[in-house]
Chain A
Amino acid sequence: MRRFLVGSLWLSLLGSSHALATSASTDIFCQKYPKALGCESKQASCAICHTAVPSLNAYGDDIKGALTGPIDATLIGALDKIEALDSDEDGASNITEIEHHSAPGNGSIKPEADAQLAYDPVIAMRRLRAIYCGNPASYEDLQKVKTAADPKAILHAELNKCLASPFWKGEALFRLADKKIQPLSAIGFGGNVVIADYRYDYRLFSYIMSDDHDVRELLSANYHIDESGARVEGVIARQEPAQVGQRIVIGGGQPLDPTRRAGMITTQWFLAFYTMFAPLPRNTASQTYREYLGMDIAKGEGLMPVANEPRDVDARNVKQADCAVCHSTLDPLSYAFSTYVGIETVQAFLFNSNGTYRATRQPWEAQGQLFGQPVTNLLDWATKARNSDPFKKNIANMFFKQALSRDPLPSEQGEFEALWKALPDDAYSANKLIHRLIETKAFGGKRS
């Protein structure tokens, strides 16, 4: 696991024939520096060597300059050579930063002992009311917290109210889903060219992420939610009839057989919008990998090359070395999506086929891999994904960033790890995760 999480560290030491990243290099780095940020948390791993992939930061540049041959063979020597340097010129040596959970290539982050913070329930109340209720705490609210014998009980009671509010369920969670769904009104319900109805996606996301539902249903739900908030089982017909004229309507409802559904990644919108006409739905797979497992292949994250890949099954010329760096991971991720229809025209008009399953669409369905394990189809893919650590970390990171507008800091890694690791104990409830989040010092800490 560690190996693929940190794979991105070395991806783009490009520009030097010696410096092409390999997964073996990541093992070397993590064996040498087990305390390094990239060896335990994906969220910060890229930043050790990169500003934005493929651009190197100062530490990455120094590694590149110190290599004397192929990276796997000379990396240890290169790392040794630059340990005493201060690549980012922040006054702390590289080795000090690595061993103290800091960033040797980022001058604005320096090693420090764990911040001496004390939890301040007033700060927590101010934040939770604004973030989860959309309505700041009043003078009276804060007075209650200040004078309470058990202020945390007040915080949790208030949070319960917030998480049940229309603001949270109908606005904040919708905004959290935007990047996953990427709606476009012109081609959604009521648009000029309707390929699918993304309102189902928002409702399903909000439903699963609230009221103590199991967040793993993001990748397993075989139901949908109607406009009244009720669960709907089975196929859902188009809300407006197919038409071709001033407006074109070829999509709508949820036509996919429920036995082929895997939550958010098999809605009609998701499949139509991301797959479109592609024989091999790489975009659909990479969006799933990015938004539900937290790994952005375009940034070199989560690379886990599969032997003999890419095979270039759809003749896109991805076997070239520069392409293969990513496609050796991406293409095997994509095969399971290839039996789901993206956008069709006549078939869609007649039979609402966008986003449906068709076993004969392509022959690659059972040839894929996820996390180094074979996957037989998309349901198998989704099962492995939703039960993985990256899925849990991504859920926790999503709420952490939603609250604090940033990733966890080095000094907060312990709290962050506790958050995502508690998900199984909390029956994978997003609400319970947020209750834990507001008790962290990252959320409510004040320097003592």
Chain B
Amino acid sequence: MKLLGITLLIAIGLLGCNHKVKKHNVRSAGANEETDASANAKGGGGMNESSPAGLNLVWKRYRAFEGGLVQGLSLPKADVCKELGQYSCIDKIHLTVLGGNEPYQLGQYERPSAPTALTPLAVERVILAACGKRLELDKAAGGGALVFKFFPLAGASPSAAQLKAQAGELYKRFLAREAEGPELDAVAAFAGKIANPEKAAISLCLAIGSSAENIFL
């Protein structure tokens, strides 16, 4: 719960600071008016009724979503997320709400046309699992850490500069772009407020990985 609270604070900070926010206009349906940081800042990612997902944005469905985690966190596909340690989150447990369908056993002949109410929960669940796995690997790797390498994962609370560096890395890995100044400032504002560096790492990973910009194209 505490972790989620911290994550939410970071996410709110990211949303509040973005300078590219534009008022969405229903009439712009069909125009990819908002991209990158502005799509992220909308938070809803086009999921509300007046902006149906798919008009302005394209949902990054299960396989591409998984691919983003495999690529972004340098994880083997099998390590991304498993429920009860054995059932694939992507291919089995959360497949439908992540945009897929299972025709052979379940008779689902069509994928959902837009994200469902459960999609955000599944997205966060999968990202949190993947971030946790990466953290575990990087802790074990010590100086050879691949992703969480900008501050020690045990010890003192990370500094603003360390948080910024880590966030910049995650923006590149998840969102394929450089973080913008206000986004980094929002992250830096949490320096000293998260005592445990592991939690800081996971919180950053979850907040950036679960941003609308990483779920919609």
Contacts and interface: CB of A to CB of B under 8 A. Distances in A.
A182 B103 contact: yes
B31 A136 contact: no
B27 A130 contact: no
Interface in B98-123: 100-101, 103-105, 107-111, 113-114
A142 B176 CA distance: 7
B31 A184 contact: no
Nearest to B108: A178
Given A115-B30, A185-B105, A137 B176 contact: yes
A175 B111 contact: yes
Nearest to A407: B54
B172 interface: yes
A134 to B, nearest CB: 4
A139 B172 contact: yes
Interface string A113-126: 00111001001001
Contacts of A316: none
Contacts of B61: 130
A405 interface: yes
Contacts of A167: 63
A235 B30 CA distance: 48
A446 B33 contact: yes
Nearest to B66: A134
Contact of B217 (A116, A130, A183): A130
Interface string B7-45: 000000000000000000011111111010000000000
B176 A109 contact: no
Given A115-B30, A123-B35, A447-B31, A136 B172 contact: no
A224 B101 CA distance: 26
A182 B109 contact: yes
Interface residues of A, number: 47
Contact of B67 (A117, A127, A135, A179): A135
A411 B173 CA distance: 35
B26 to A, nearest CB: 6
Given A136-B60, A182-B109, A405-B113, A445 B176 contact: no
Contacts of B29: 108-109, 409
* Best-surrounded residue of B26, B63, B111 (most CB of chain A within 10 A): B63
A138 B31 contact: no
B4 interface: no
Contacts of A171: 63
Contact of A183 (B28, B103, B172): B103
A184 B104 contact: yes
Given A108-B50, A131-B58, A175-B101, A409 B30 contact: yes
A123 B32 contact: yes
B64 interface: yes
B165 to A, nearest CB: 15
Interface in B62-88: 63-64, 67-68, 70-71
A444 B57 CA distance: 10
* Best-surrounded residue of B52, B104, B105 (most CB of chain A within 10 A): B104
A174 B169 CA distance: 36
Contacts of A116: 31
B58 A403 contact: yes
Contact of B109 (A131, A178, A404): A178
B151 interface: no
Given A139-B173, A403-B58, A115 B31 contact: yes
Interface in A5-21: none
B50 A126 contact: no
Contact of A108 (B26, B59, B68, B105): B26
Contacts of B108: 178
A112 interface: yes
A112 B27 contact: yes
Given A135-B67, A139-B172, A182-B109, A406 B177 contact: no
A135 B64 contact: yes
A182 B104 CA distance: 8
A289 B217 CA distance: 33
Contact of A446 (B32, B58, B70, B114): B32
Nearest to A111: B27
Nearest to A446: B32
B64 to A, nearest CB: 4
A167 B59 CA distance: 18
B141 interface: no
A408 B55 CA distance: 9
Interface in A177-223: 178-179, 181-185, 188
B53 interface: yes
A27 interface: no
A442 B26 contact: no
Contact of A412 (B27, B30, B58): B30
A406 B54 contact: yes
A425 to B, nearest CB: 26
A406 B113 CA distance: 8
Contacts of B107: 182, 184
Given A109-B29, A117-B32, A131-B64, A138 B176 contact: yes
8 contacts: A136-B64, A175-B101, A175-B103, A178-B101, A178-B108, A405-B113, A409-B29, A447-B33
Given A134-B67, A135-B70, 10 more contacts: A108-B29, A109-B29, A126-B176, A130-B61, A133-B67, A175-B100, A175-B111, A178-B103, A405-B54, A411-B30
Interface of A: 108-110, 112, 115-117, 120, 123, 126-127, 129-131, 133-139, 141-142, 167, 171-172, 175, 178-179, 181-185, 188, 403-406, 409, 411-412, 442, 444-447
Instruction: List 6 tightest A-B contacts by C-beta distance, closest first.
Output: A130-B64, A135-B67, A134-B63, A405-B54, A447-B33, A409-B30
